[in-house]
Amino acid sequence: MFPKGDVWSTLMFLLLLTTGARTEKICSVHSNHEVNMGSSFQIYCIFKKECKRLIYQDEVPLNYSSLNSSVVIMSIENLTRTTTFTCKCQNDPEPCGTDIVPGYPPAVPQNLTCIQEGEFGHVKCTWKTGQETHIKTTSHLWVLGLPPVHYESVAVHEGTRSASFPVSGTKSRFSVWIHVKNSLGTVNSTVFNFTLYEIVKPRSPQIRTIYCSSTQCQLSTDNTQNIQLIEIRYRKKQGSWTTVSFENTNSTTSWAIGSLNPYSMYAFEVRWKLSPTKGLWSEWTQIKGMTDEEAFLPHKVSHTLLNNHSVALYWPRTVGADPVTEFLVEWFPVGQKQHLQWIRVDKHINTAHITGLQPAQCYEGAVVYLHSSWTKKAIFNRIATWQTAPQQSPASSIDVKSESVKVEWREIPPEKRGGCLQHYTIYLKDSTGKIQNYSVPHPQREFIINGLILGQKYRLWVSAWTTAGESPVANEHPFKPKRFKETLDEKPLALLISVGSAVSFTCLCLLCLCQFSSGEMKLQLYLSDSSINEEEPNMVEVEEFSQETLPEDKPISNEETLHLVDTQAESAPYQHKIISSYLKSFSNESSSSDATQASRSTDISVDYISTHKVISGEEEEEEEDSDGDEDHETFEFFPCHRSPFLEPLITDGGLLTLDSVKIDCSDFLDCV
């Protein structure tokens, strides 16, 4: 007896074997799953046992030939549709088979184009794929790089695909191509080279508002920063388009289209471009607008205030063959036509009371004359039942030029105006406290002030007025006009002055550095006597003679070389302050030199350390002879010119080590 657990394991194993034996196919089919459209080919069925064989093409019996006892061959001609081929044994219900799909190799992609969607957007490329392949085909956009990278494409519509890739901050020139492949072939498109400057396409403008009178419509769009060219086209109903262009140099956000017909519906379309030579046009944005009825410049509407919330309107009657059928009176707060209200008035009446007005609110409207064949209207505006001074000043900005300033400002919010605005005042205050003011009629919102003084400090602010008073002072702008553009004659002079000043200042600094740093500079003295002990410092007794104390009748021998400091000092304006000095060196170990002792009656030799490079012929020869001797040092000295503003740096008398008076100007520019 098996343990209970072992019995169940054995039963499960036998069940799996039985199932596996029953599901094992008695044959297999070998052929390509995808073939060229209309091609002829062969299919092989391999059987694992002897049986009566049956071959089907879409469940239709098919003739075949036997290659041997196990292999059956079927010849297929001109396959043009997806077909299922099946092989089976007559007594075995389990068949084997395959689906074969005819298709086409990919065509070379055409019309590869790329655009950058906005100045900082991705680059999107589209192309035509050619004829349908009917089999699985993949397309990739390849972008040249190190290494090249590819991006999966998506279908845009039938026969067109697209792919996008991000743009780095530094790369602006690109090379792209399309790689297409399926089981029947592989192709590449031609390489498309471009720069972002050529393909950048701004986003479509967003039209915020459209306001129409009887003969013109004004369109306002969103921010136009960096946009230089705007194109607007318009038409009435299904008529032909009329196109107008605008150059946008001051970030204008609204444009007026005139010469329109009254009381007509127009379609407007707007697009824009970064510059006339840069990038592509944006897509068109469309909006519709209705012009007002034709206005009567002799028919005027008068009014009388009744109280803080109502007024009475009066208008003239008309005479003629075509009488008025009725009047329509409409009104709304200024700038808020969406809040329009209206009433009908009988043709025999030429007056109306309008109520529900708000104090400190400005209204406008019209009386519409309705005729049987035409419509006209008489406009009224600037109606307010009660007014106060504006509660705030308009927000302003300035653009400063060399001798002028351009002022622009925005409308005050309606709830802060205090009624109907009459005009604006621009105040200009100079550094002396003098104030000039300029009056600008409402609704104008820009003004240019000329005749400013270069370098003068100014303050500027803008206020608004109603009949009740002026808005408070706010939004002051301090500024100072500067010369932005120089003439051809002024540029070289300014450049010469600035360069000359810089050079003079630099030389003065270097002169001072040379003098003040002399205590740290190195004077490299290379002695010809090899007997000097390197471990002991070379003691030098230094004596300084000024030009005034130098005996004029005492000759100077070649051994007592004298070199005055700054040979050009005689012509300097500070000549009376210059002390031309030299250093006299008393060598403690010069007794071995007979030639030196001959020049003096003492045992101490005299050498003069020149403030310029030694010019004594004998010493130059000693320098050349000592080049190959490691124990001898070459005597070189490159000092800077003395500053006429400084006193001599070395005092009379005293013992100095050579190390303490080493001077080295190699770290500075030549002070010549």
Cα 160 to Cα 139, 142, 353: the distances in Å are 11, 17, 65
Q: What token pair was written down for 252?
A: 């204008």
Cα separation of 318 and 535, whole Å? Answer: 125
Residue type, 430: D
CB 329 within 8 A of CB 346: no
pLDDT per residue as tens digits for the range 181-204: 999 999 999 999 999 989 999 999
- Which DSSP string do the residues of 112-123 spell out, in sequence order? EEEEEESTTS-E
Nearest residue to 425 (alpha-carbon basis) of 470, 383, 459: 470
pLDDT average, residue stretch 146-170: 86
Of these ranges, 216-230, 370-384, 457-471, the one predicted with the greatest mean pLDDT is 457-471
CA dihedral 217, 220, 221, 227 (to 10 degrees): 90
pLDDT average, residue stretch 568-583: 36
pLDDT average, residue stretch 582-598: 36
Instruction: Check pLDDT > 80 for residue 603.
Output: no
Give the helix, strand, coil percentages of the chain, each rounded to 5.
Answer: 15, 40, 50
At a CB cut-off of 8 Å and minimum separation 6, what does 444 contact?
Answer: 424
In the block, residue with structure tokens 């002396």: 432
Instruction: Check pLDDT > 90 for residue 520.
Output: no
Instruction: Check pLDDT > 70 for residue 505.
Output: yes
Q: What is the mean pLDDT of the chain?
A: 76
Nearest residue to 639 (alpha-carbon basis) of 504, 523, 543, 507: 523
Residue type, 519: G
pLDDT average, residue stretch 267-295: 91
Higher pLDDT, residue 567 or 290: 290
pLDDT average, residue stretch 73-96: 88
pLDDT average, residue stretch 560-574: 37
CA angle (605 as vertex; 604, 611 as ends), nearest 5: 130
E strand or H helix at 377: strand 375-383
Cα separation of 452 and 479, whole Å? Answer: 11
Compute φ and ψ for 605, nearest 5 degrees. -80, 155
CB 606 within 8 A of CB 549: no
Q: Specify the pLDDT at position 171.
A: 77
Structural domains of the chain ordered from first start: 26-103 (2.60.40.10), 110-200 (2.60.40.10), 202-290 (2.60.40.10), 294-383 (2.60.40.10), 396-479 (2.60.40.10), 539-661 (no CATH)
Contacts 24+ apart (CB under 8 A), 442-447: 443/411, 445/394, 445/408, 445/409, 445/410, 445/411, 446/406, 446/407, 446/408, 446/409, 447/406, 447/407
pLDDT per residue as tens digits for the range 224-268: 778 889 999 999 988 899 999 998 876 678 899 999 998 899 999
In the block, residue with structure tokens 């100045």: 119
CB 80 within 8 A of CB 38: yes
pLDDT per residue as tens digits for the range 5-46: 444 444 444 444 444 444 567 888 988 899 999 999 889 999
Instruction: Check pLDDT > 70 for residue 447.
Output: yes
Q: In sequence order, which ranges of 478-557 are alpha helices (DSSP H)?
A: 490-516
At a CB cut-off of 8 Å and minimum separation 6, what does 630 contact?
Answer: none
pLDDT per residue as tens digits for the range 530-544: 343 444 444 444 444
pTM of the model: 0.46
Range with the lowest mean pLDDT among 376-380, 613-617, 639-643? 613-617
Cα 327 to Cα 298, 337, 346, 352, 462: the distances in Å are 18, 19, 6, 10, 42
pLDDT average, residue stretch 439-450: 92
pLDDT average, residue stretch 334-358: 92
Cα separation of 339 and 126, whole Å? Answer: 47
Q: Specify the pLDDT at position 314.
A: 94
Q: Specify the pLDDT at position 141.
A: 96
Q: How many CB atoms lie within 10 A of CB 135?
A: 20
Per the document, the length of the chain is 672
Q: How confident is the model at residue 495 (pLDDT cuts 50, 70, 90)?
A: low
Range with the lowest mean pLDDT among 123-132, 136-145, 234-243, 494-503? 494-503
Higher pLDDT, residue 523 or 74: 74
Q: Specify the pLDDT at position 502.
A: 80
E strand or H helix at 470: strand 469-470
Q: How confident is the model at residue 374 (pLDDT cuts 50, 70, 90)?
A: confident
Q: Specify the pLDDT at position 593.
A: 37
Cα separation of 187 and 181, whole Å? Answer: 6
Cα separation of 440 and 442, whole Å? Answer: 7
Q: How many CB atoms lie within 10 A of CB 182?
A: 19
CB 392 within 8 A of CB 472: yes
Cα 323 to Cα 292, 319, 369: the distances in Å are 21, 7, 10
Instruction: Check pLDDT > 90 for residue 622.
Output: no
Range with the lowest mean pLDDT among 314-318, 459-463, 560-564, 666-670? 560-564
Q: Specify the pLDDT at position 639.
A: 45
Instruction: Check pLDDT > 50 for residue 368.
Output: yes
Range with the lowest mean pLDDT among 69-83, 283-297, 355-369, 564-578? 564-578
Q: Specify the pLDDT at position 464.
A: 97
Q: Report the DSSP beta bridge partners of residue 161.
A: 127, 155
- Decide the pairing of beta strands 110-117 and 200-201: parallel
At a CB cut-off of 8 Å and minimum separation 6, what does 432 contact?
Answer: none
Instruction: Check pLDDT > 50 for residue 512.
Output: yes
Q: Specify the pLDDT at position 493.
A: 57
CB 112 within 8 A of CB 127: yes
Q: How confident is the model at residue 503 (pLDDT cuts 50, 70, 90)?
A: confident
Instruction: Check pLDDT > 80 for residue 509.
Output: no
CB 461 within 8 A of CB 396: yes
